[in-house]
């Protein structure tokens, strides 16, 4: 319990009575108001640590009232309540500083869990201000873009809001998710990552929600699943747009009820999990194409964080390369200390389609195959020189023979397919995953075709 009572602002008398009864039974002291005017007056008098706020009030918009609460007492944890048709408004409230939102109808346990989560934030030791733009652990770089990202990570970590991380492959989305977890009041709990794109679709249900022994062929024992393993902590769903539509329905139900039901289980159980998800696709485009549920998108896309590509981070590329050089040289017992000026200039110019992951692979390659004090241009993989040449080449001249109908007529469909695939990969700096997104196929499809061409099939 905290010293001050909770404040409930709800204009429907029957719901107000129900909420008061549930809260009182759980041992909470609660003060109620039935409109914005009386709610604001009560807030000024009580300075409550937690407010339960219906967004639809008779005399004023609930979102505006919440802004007044936070202006008076910024550390107030506001839980907004909304109807199913107004999730967009609840998402706007989360982005404006609400702690969490509940969609009517919700069950008693979900209601009380939200209160307990908000109170745990109140009781937690104060953390760094959202203005702190120092790099979190595992981040390197002081570009303006990254400093803004660091501030956002620290800011959103204090909320229960679902974080949706976007960015190209290799930009560090999982590192970002880990940082949000580490700065949150759940830092002592588990951080459970699950790559939705790396698990066969027929096993995803079991991987996320678990299964009981004998529920399907191969289920030789009970398995808790990622959602249960993350109880009390954070569940990170990477490649969220790869989720099967049927599993998306289950995930939506999980977000609404905080309950899971393992495959083959007769009963469901409650878990207390914060969701962070990530994708390298455009999630809204996936919604438009019918591959991602719109209601799930709005439920997950509460606080968006975009990881910038390496080519937009200026001198960060040199800082990351030199930090990796130091680490790999120590691991491999080599004598490298720095990059020479020509390599630094080249790194700033390269498009880096594989982003930080590609840069780390390049530095590992250099250290393993070479030695010296400074990395020189001749030590770099030949693929980097090719990328720079493609970047500097004029795309129109390079593609002209292939984009005309005359250039395609007379060729077989297989030849045309190969031309299009190879040219798309070249346009995207040799990145097969990027080309796959443009061509709207799975990367594995392109890898199989490339392997077949190499073997002469």
> In this structure, what CATH number is given to the domain that contains residue 355?
1.10.8.60
**Residues 113 and 184 placed together within one structural domain of the fold:** no
Domain with 340, as residue range(s), is: 310-392
For tokens 């594995």, what's the residue?
444
Show which of 346, 374, 392 is a domain's final residue. 392
Are 49 and 2 spatial neighbours (Cβ–Cβ below 8 Å)? yes
Residues paired with residue 78 on neighbouring β-strands, in sequence order: 51
Residue 136 lies in a domain: no
Distance CA(309)–CA(311), nearest Å, equals: 5
- β-strands 259-260, 269-270: how paired? antiparallel
For tokens 């009981």, what's the residue?
212
Residue 31 lies in a domain: yes
Q: What is the tally of structural domains in the chain? A: 4
In terms of pTM, does the model score above 0.75? no
Residue 1 lies in a domain: no
Task: Give 155's DSSP letter.
Answer: H
The count of other CB atoms within 10 Å of the CB of residue 419 is: 15
**Residues 242 and 317 placed together within one structural domain of the fold:** no
Tens-binned pLDDT, residue by residue, of the chain (457 aa): 445 789 999 999 999 999 999 999 999 999 999 999 999 999 999 999 999 999 989 999 999 999 999 989 888 999 999 886 677 788 888 878 888 888 888 888 888 888 988 887 787 665 444 446 788 989 999 998 999 899 899 988 878 889 999 999 999 999 999 999 999 989 999 999 999 888 887 788 888 898 888 888 777 888 889 999 999 999 999 999 988 888 899 898 888 888 888 888 888 888 989 999 999 988 988 898 899 999 899 889 988 999 999 999 999 999 999 999 999 999 999 999 999 999 999 999 898 989 999 999 999 999 999 999 999 999 998 888 777 666 665 443 343 344 454 556 667 777 788 888 888 887 776 777 778 878 877 777 787 788 777 766 6
**Residues 162 and 280 placed together within one structural domain of the fold:** yes
**Residues 157 and 291 placed together within one structural domain of the fold:** yes
Which whole-number Å values give the CA distances from 54 to 8, 49, 68, 208, in the listed order?
8, 17, 15, 32
Residue 134 lies in a domain: no
**Residues 276 and 166 placed together within one structural domain of the fold:** yes
Are 211 and 264 spatial neighbours (Cβ–Cβ below 8 Å)? yes
**Residues 88 and 117 placed together within one structural domain of the fold:** yes
List the one residue out of 43, 32, 91 whose CA is nearest residue 65. 43
Q: What is residue 170's three-state secondary structure?
A: coil
**Residues 175 and 259 placed together within one structural domain of the fold:** yes
Instruction: List the alpha helices (DSSP H) in 289-336.
Output: 294-300, 316-332
Distance CA(105)–CA(81), nearest Å, equals: 10
Residue 74 lies in a domain: yes
- Which tokens go with 44? 């000024």
For tokens 């679709």, what's the residue?
201
């Amino acid at each position: 319990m905290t010293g001050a009572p909770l404040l409930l602002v709800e204009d429907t008398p029957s719901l107000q009575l129900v909420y008061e009864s549930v809260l009182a039974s759980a041992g909470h002291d609660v003060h109620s108001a039935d409109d914005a005017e009386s709610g604001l007056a009560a807030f000024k008098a009580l300075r409550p640590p937690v407010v339960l706020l219906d967004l639809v009030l008779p005399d004023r918009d609930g979102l505006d009232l919440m802004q007044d609460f936070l202006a008076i007492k910024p550390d107030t944890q506001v839980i907004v309540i909304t109807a199913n048709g107004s999730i967009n408004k609840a998402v706007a409230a989360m982005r404006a500083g609400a702690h969490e939102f509940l969609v009517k109808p919700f069950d008693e346990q979900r209601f009380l869990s939200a209160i307990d989560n908000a109170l745990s934030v109140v009781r937690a030791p104060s953390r760094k201000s959202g203005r702190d733009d120092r790099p979190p652990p595992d981040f390197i770089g002081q570009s303006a873009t990254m400093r803004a990202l660091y501030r956002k990570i620290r800011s959103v970590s204090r909320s229960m809001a679902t974080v949706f991380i976007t960015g190209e492959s290799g930009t560090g989305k999982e590192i970002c998710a880990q940082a949000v977890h580490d700065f949150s009041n759940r830092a002592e709990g588990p951080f459970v990552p699950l790559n939705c794109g790396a698990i066969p679709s027929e096993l995803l249900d079991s991987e996320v929600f678990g299964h009981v022994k004998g529920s399907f062929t191969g289920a030789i024992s009970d398995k808790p699943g990622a959602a249960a393993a993350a109880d009390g902590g954070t569940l990170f769903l990477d490649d969220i747009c790869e989720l099967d539509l049927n599993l998306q329905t289950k995930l939506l139900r999980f977000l609404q009820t905080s309950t899971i039901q393992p495959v083959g289980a007769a009963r469901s159980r409650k878990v207390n999990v914060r969701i962070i998800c990530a994708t390298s696709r455009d999630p809204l485009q996936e919604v438009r194409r019918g591959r991602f549920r719109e209601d799930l998108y709005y439920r997950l896309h509460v606080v968006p964080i975009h990881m910038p590509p390496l080519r937009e981070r200026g001198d960060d590329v040199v800082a990351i390369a030199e930090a990796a050089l130091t680490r790999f040289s120590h691991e491999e017992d080599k004598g490298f200390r720095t990059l020479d000026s020509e390599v630094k200039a080249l790194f700033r110019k390269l498009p880096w389609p594989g982003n930080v992951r590609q840069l780390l692979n390049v530095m590992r390659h250099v250290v393993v195959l070479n030695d010296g004090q400074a990395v020189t241009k001749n030590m770099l993989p030949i693929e980097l020189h090719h990328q720079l040449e493609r970047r500097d080449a004029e795309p129109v001249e390079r593609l002209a023979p292939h984009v005309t109908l005359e250039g395609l007529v007379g060729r077989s469909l297989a030849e045309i397919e190969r031309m299009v695939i190879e040219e798309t990969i070249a346009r995207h700096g040799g990145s097969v995953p990027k080309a796959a997104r443009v061509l709207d196929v799975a990367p594995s499809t392109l890898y199989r075709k490339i392997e077949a061409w190499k073997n002469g099939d």
